[in-house]
Amino acid sequence: MTRNLLLYIFCCCTVSLYSQSKEQVDSINKLYIQGLNIPQDSIVVLFQNNAKDAEKISYKLGVADAYFQLSLVYGYQGKYEKATKSTIEAIKIYEAENKLDRLADYYGEMGYGLKYKDLPTALQYMQKGKAIAEANNFENELKDIYNNYGVLKEINNELDSALYYFNKGLEIKLKLNDTIGIPYSWSNLAGAYGLQENFSKSREYFNKSLQQRLIWADSIGIAENYTQLGEVYMAEKKWKEAIPFMHKSLPISLQKQYQNLTQYNYKMLSDIYKKLNNADSALYYFEQYAAVKDSVRGLKVEEKIAALNVEFETEKKENQILQQRAQLVEKDLQVRRKNTFIFGSLGLALVLGLLGYLFYNQQKLKNRQLQKEGELKTALAKIETQNKLQEQRLRISRDLHDNIGAQLTFIISSIDNLKYGFSDIGEKLSNKLSNISAFTSQTIYELRDTIWAMNKEQITFEDLQVRIANFIEHAQNASDQTEFSFHIAENVDETHLFSSVEGMNIYRIIQEAVNNALKHAKADEIEVNISRKQNQYQLEIIDNGKGFEQTSIELGNGLNNMKKRAREIGGNIDFVSNINKGTRVALNFPV
């Protein structure tokens, strides 16, 4: 769409059209905001007028869609209060009209908008939108929800889960040929690879995204990609190579009034020049950053003032209620004193009894308070102990990752150097070194799995699903001749919580069974199925390998370990195998 055509649409839509049709309202609401080459304020006016035109013809969905577009524009401008108000107005209409696809999309957008302000609430909104979209198979909404859910997982430092959902979203976008959305998935994948310090792969995906956006003339997306490519060079400490990308992004973000990106570009340029010991440039860009930051902060201060006013009014009303209660208590005391004076001579014994009763009640209340204080101290001590255990767990996992992991990596590197450093090394010794290297690599993978479990007090089925899917993907890559399938029944609750020990035992049983099927059974088909029957979960690993004779073979360490892990989670495990007919491993454990 050319710039002249967009300007023509804008001019036509800003005029009040009493004969505006639903089709005209929808055509404006479907415009791609990032591709509109007109000022941001003009875009706001465009959708405000479209909402009014939709109201004139009583087209409620048109009104809601216009509010949806307005919330996106306000979000790019950093006007978060207006963006939130527009979001709420749209959701009210979608709920009233029972438009589940729009609701799913909007809950996802609300969650994404809260990602840096309130991550737990952001995850709740995103999961709500995800549940609606998945239940109704709304692929058009799921492609963006999966992508944005991956961003929240990345912010929460769950990089494996982030990559899992980025790829799920990309798969749907490729299926639907979403030429606008595909570059966003590539960019998000690139960001996750960057956090994993896989800089070459990160740069590859950012460049793919940039080339697609240049074709589509997605100005905001182009600016973001330039900044992100600069960030990759910064992560590699290639300061001079990062500067041109920041300078390419900055004029676009200024032109499009993308305040958050403009502020970030200034901050990055200031940091780069500081690293290069160029004090004048570093100071200049920091001053520009501070000016933009103050303008954005002013909006946030207004929001805080409004919130404080509400809080003040609420507190004032509560104080009035407390004063009224105090007055009632005072009046009640006056009445009691008067009655006591009148009937004092006749009710002396009654008064003494009443005083004794009051004293008894007071003492009883005091004892109850002391008991509650004791319970509170015990609970606090328990929480403190749990916190210390969690800190200890995190410290140990960091030590394992930083020390043991680094040492194992050094061993692999040293072995490779030995292999390729000596030209006359024997074949037997070479094979031996290769086996040691492979064993050390496997140890690193198992160490990462252990660290993953140690960093979590509780593990959901969703976390377990991602971990199992990643393991099966690695196994698939390692064995080209073997076909894998992984299925979780619909009646399995993905939010079910396991302790870290339970989750790790389940994962290790699957890992051991799959490895046995690959190494010993020589299977070319392996299935992993999880289902629920009443109050039991059932886990099955089925292969079509060569099997074994159950009556004549002794259980080795691997099978005994699987039985031991099953007992630790209160379950039982069965092995069913026949020669040349494969093996079935069945684990049952209580919900």
Looking at per-residue confidence, does 386 or 96 come out higher? 96
- The CB density around residue 550, as the number of other CB atoms within 10 Å, is 13
Q: What is the pLDDT of residue 383?
A: 64
H/E stretch holding 122 reads helix 119-136
pLDDT tens, 187-220? 889 888 988 889 888 889 989 988 888 887 788 8
Residue 294 region by backbone torsions, left for phi larger than 0, else alpha for psi between -120 and 50, else beta: alpha
pLDDT digits over 106-138, tens only?
Answer: 788 878 877 877 889 889 989 989 999 999 999
Given a contact cutoff of 8 angstroms between Cβ atoms, the answer to whether 506 and 539 are in contact is yes
Point out the least confidently predicted range of 8-17, 175-184, 437-446, 564-573: 8-17
Query: The CATH number of 197-339 is which of 1.25.40.10, 3.50.50.60, 1.10.3720.10, 3.30.300.180?
Result: 1.25.40.10
Please give the backbone phi and psi of residue 291, each rounded to the nearest 5 degrees, phi first. -65, -45
Q: Is the pLDDT of residue 317 over 60?
A: no
pLDDT at 310: 44
Q: One-letter amino acid identity for 167?
A: N
Q: Rounded to a whole number, what is the distance in angstroms from the first to the last CA of the chain?
A: 56
- In this predicted structure, the answer to whether residue 559 has a pLDDT above a threshold of 90 is no
Q: Where are the domains of the chain?
A: 197-339, 456-590
Average pLDDT over residues 421-437: 70
The pLDDT value given to residue 561: 87
Sign of the Cα pseudo-torsion (116, 119, 121, 126, in order): positive
Residue with tokens 């465009």: 46
DSSP 34: G
Task: Give residue for tokens 């200024």.
Answer: 254
Could you tell me the strand order of the sheet in which 572-578 lies?
Answer: 483-488, 525-533, 536-543, 582-590, 572-578
Tell me whether the CATH fold assigned to 197-339 matches the one assigned to 456-590: no
Mean pLDDT of 317-323: 59
Per-residue pLDDT of 206-261, as tens digits, reads 899 888 888 877 888 888 889 989 888 998 899 999 999 999 999 988 888 788 88
* Predicted pLDDT of residue 470: 82
CATH topology of domain 456-590: Heat Shock Protein 90 (3.30.565)
Q: If you average pLDDT over residues 67-79, what whole number do you get?
A: 81
Q: Can you tell me whether residue 208 is helix, strand or coil?
A: helix
Q: Would you state the pLDDT for residue 266?
A: 92
484 or 319, which is more confident?
484
Instruction: Using a pLDDT cut of 90, give the percent of the chain over it.
Output: 18
Round to whole Å and give the CA distance between 474 and 465: 14
* 188-204 CB burial, b ≥16 within 10 A, e <16: bbbbbbbeeeebeebbe
Average pLDDT of the chain, as a whole number: 80
Specify the pLDDT at position 375: 80
* 3-state helix/strand/coil string of 127-162: HHHHHHHHHHCCHHHHHHHHHHHHHHHHHCCCHHHH
Please tell me the distance from the alpha carbon of residue 193 to that of residue 204, in angstroms, as a whole number: 10
Higher pLDDT, 316 or 347: 347
pLDDT of 430 = 72
Q: Give me the pLDDT at residue 392, please.
A: 59
Measured distance CA(534)–CA(551) in Å, rounded = 32
